[in-house]
Amino acid sequence: MTTITRVDARDIRFPTSRQLDGSDAMNEAPDYSATYVILHTDQEDEGHGLSFTIGRGNDLCVAAVNALAPTLVGRKLEDITADMGTFWRELTSGDSQLRWLGPEKGVMHLASAALVNAIWDLWAKREGKPIWKLLVDMSPEQLVRCLDFRFVTDAITPEEAIALLRRKAGTKGEREAEMKAEGYPGYTTSAGWLGYSEEKMRRLCREALAEGWQHFKQKVGGDIEEDRRRAAILREEIGEQRTLMMDANQMWDVDETIVNMRRLAEFNPHWIEEPTSPDDILGHAEIRRRLRGGLEGGIGVATGEHCHNRVMFKQLLQAGAIDFCQLDAARLGGLNEVIIVVLLAAKYGVPICPHGGGVGLCEYTQHISLFDYIAVSGSLEGRLLEYVDHLHEHFVDPVRIRQGRYLVPEAPGYSITMKPESLEMHRYPEGAAWQDA
Ligand SMILES: C[C@H](O)[C@@H](O)[C@@H](O)[C@H](O)C(=O)O
Ligand SMILES: [Mg+2]
């Protein structure tokens, strides 16, 4: 038996705003940051997890982790993993006074995600498997036992989830072998940040093309003439055949989205991402209808990086509001809730294209997309996993990319463990990286 003895929560920040890495129309100068959690045990091993924020306020998330920590300390890992569904509900709703601060959204849910993912990391390391493998090796019944279906049974029941998983169970081995040989297809956002100059965009595009990337994302939502100019540059660099996505990061109202996307349509965007408020389910449905998302010649609608729980995703799917489901590994309450969203998306026939723009998110999401392909949807249609070329050097087991595809991670755990020296250097505000700020 393994007892969790201590939760160590750290405020880790990277000064990415200096180069405007990760910049978009809404988030002009982010400092990619992590609320970083280490679960200590009475054995040798540790569980690591993080939630992504963009700088100021990361300390609030650290405080939220500390508020939730008593739910874990003194607990046995084996008791938690034997009934993860119950554990998840206890963590997110067990303390009704804390639950009032969410529920299941915002800072509290980000904090839950870091803790939940750290439990999974500990479990997978104990089993000697990468997370995706731990998941695909579970029987449908075992997997469903990890989930809390509260508030979504009108869209998917545990029995339906089991049936869905059984459909693909017999052929998992084939897809696992295929992924090991070929990797999972990705797209890159790295050339498209809004704060980059034309010259930098062109250079990064050329580098990405030389590395084999076929799919590119551009930030929009600034001045529309400027968006058009940048789209023209990107099209000039990548050509007509490759994919170009656009991301407005919530800048527009519904009608404004239609007006702006009509002006951007000539650049043939594959999707418009986060056109409006992430909470506006019917607004997204209206945009999709008017942009003819899902139809020949139409523009798809994508959202999810700010979609805070399974209930919101359920409604986006029920309302036929999205063409692409961009779930986030730590905006949702960690892997348990992510799995429910993966199952919901499969049931509604919507591809998942997880959100990767942040520190550690690519490390997380590769496991999720592999799980989706091997064990749930069995399909790559419409599916592309986001890649951003930032901060991977700080991870012990960073993502590996070949010709625009993610190679299958092999090390045990959730690939989220950061190097001790990186943690030390980027500790906020006392780390060396912040001393000359
Ligand atoms: C502030 C961040 O870099 C965002 O711009 C980023 O997550 C982005 O929306 C994305 O889709 O990757
Ligand atoms: Mg985005």
Q: Per-residue pLDDT tens for 330-377?
A: 999 999 999 999 999 999 999 999 999 999 999 999 999 999 999 999
Tokens of residue 129, six digits: 């498997």
Give the CA distances from residue 201 to residues 29, 196, 317, 331, 385, in Å, rounded to whole numbers and listed in that order: 17, 6, 34, 29, 21
Positive or negative torsion for Cα 353, 354, 356, 358: positive
Report the C-alpha gap between 97 and 99 in whole angstroms. 5
Give the separation between CA 210 and CA 204, rounded to whole angstroms. 10
Residue in the structure block whose two tokens are 């036929």 = 320
355 as an active site residue: the answer is yes
Quick check: 278 pLDDT over 90?
yes
- Taking the CA of 193 as reference, the closest ligand is 1
Q: Report the pLDDT averaged over residues 183-203.
A: 95
- pLDDT tens digit string along 98-157? 999 999 999 999 999 999 999 999 999 999 999 999 999 999 999 999 999 999 999 999
Contact 372/346 with Cβ under 8 angstroms? Answer: yes
pLDDT tens-digit series, residues 2-12: 999 999 999 99
Please tell me the distance between residue 274's alpha carbon and the centre of ligand 2 in angstroms. Answer: 7
Q: Distance between CA atoms of 30 and 14, rounded to whole angstroms?
A: 9
From ligand 2's centre to the CA of 184, what distance in Å?
20
**Ligand 1 binding pocket includes 247 (Cβ within 6 Å):** yes
Query: What is the end-to-end Cα distance of the chain in Å, rounded?
Result: 45
pLDDT at 198 over 70: yes
Long-range CB contacts (within 8 A, 24+) of 24-27: 24/193, 24/194, 24/219, 24/221, 24/247, 24/249, 25/194, 25/219, 25/220, 25/221, 25/222, 25/248, 25/249, 25/251, 26/221, 26/249, 26/250, 26/251, 27/54, 27/249
pLDDT at position 224 = 98
* pLDDT at residue 171, rounded to an integer: 98
Atom nearest to 326 CA in ligand 1: 11
Strand 33-41 to strand 243-247: parallel, antiparallel, or no bridges (unpaired)? Answer: unpaired
**What pLDDT score was predicted for residue 44?**
85
**What domains can be seen in the chain, in order of their start residue?**
4-130 (3.30.390.10), 167-421 (3.20.20.120)
What is the chain's mean pLDDT, rounded? 97
Mutation test of ligand 1: which of 14, 16, 17, 27 has the most ligand atoms closer than 8 Å to its C-beta? 27
Cβ neighbors of 331 (< 8 A, separation 6 or more) are 52, 109, 110, 113, 305, 306, 307, 308, 355
Q: Are strands 46-53 and 33-41 parallel, antiparallel or unpaired?
A: antiparallel
Of 33, 54, 58, 249, the one to substitute when testing ligand 1's pocket (max ligand atoms within 8 A of C-beta) is: 249
Cα separations (Å) of 179 from 158, 297, 363?
28, 31, 16
Q: Is 32 left (phi over 0), alpha (psi -120 to 50) or beta?
A: beta
Residue 187 and residue 384 in contact, taking contact as beta carbons nearer than 8 Å = yes
Cβ(355) to ligand 1 under 6 A?
yes
- Exposed, middle or buried: residue 412 (CB in 10 Å: 0-12, 13-18, 19+)? buried
CA 425, CA 433: separation in Å to the nearest integer? Answer: 6
Q: How many residues does the chain have?
A: 437
CA 349 / ligand 2 centre spacing (Å): 21
Write out pLDDT tens, residues 247-276. Answer: 999 999 999 999 999 999 999 999 999 999
Do residues 173 and 378 make contact, with C-beta atoms less than 8 angstroms apart?
Answer: no
From the CB of residue 174, how many other CB atoms can be counted at a distance below 10 Å? 11
pLDDT, tens digit, 9 for 90 and up, residues 13-29 = 999 999 999 999 999 99
Check pocket membership of 369 for ligand 1, CB cut-off 6 A: no
If you measure from the C-alpha of residue 6 to the centroid of ligand 2, how many angstroms do you get, rounded to a whole number? 34
Determine how many CB atoms are found less than 10 A away from the CB of residue 241: 7
ipTM (interface predicted TM): 0.98
Bridging pattern class, strands 33-41 and 4-13: antiparallel
255 neighbors 285 (Cβ within 8 angstroms): no
The β-bridge relationship of strands 405-406 and 401-402 is antiparallel
Does the Cβ of 305 fall within 6 Å of ligand 1?
A: yes
Strand partners, 75: none
Query: What's residue 437's pLDDT?
Result: 63
Could you give the percent of the chain with pLDDT greater than 70? 100
Report in angstroms the alpha-carbon separations of 305 from 210, 217, 395: 29, 15, 22
Ligand of minimum distance to the alpha carbon of 303: 2
Asked whether the predicted pLDDT for residue 436 surpasses 80, the reply is: no
How far does residue 140's CA lie from ligand 1's centre (Å)? Answer: 33
Residue 315 is encoded by which pair of tokens? Answer: 């409604």
For residue 356, the ligand 1 atom closest to its alpha carbon is 12
Residue 182 burial (C-beta neighbours within 10 Å; 0-12, 13-18, 19+): middle
**Element containing residue 50 per DSSP (H, E):** strand 46-53
Phi, psi of 152 (to 5 degrees): -125, 5
Question: Is the beta carbon of 334 within 6 A of some atom in ligand 1?
Answer: no
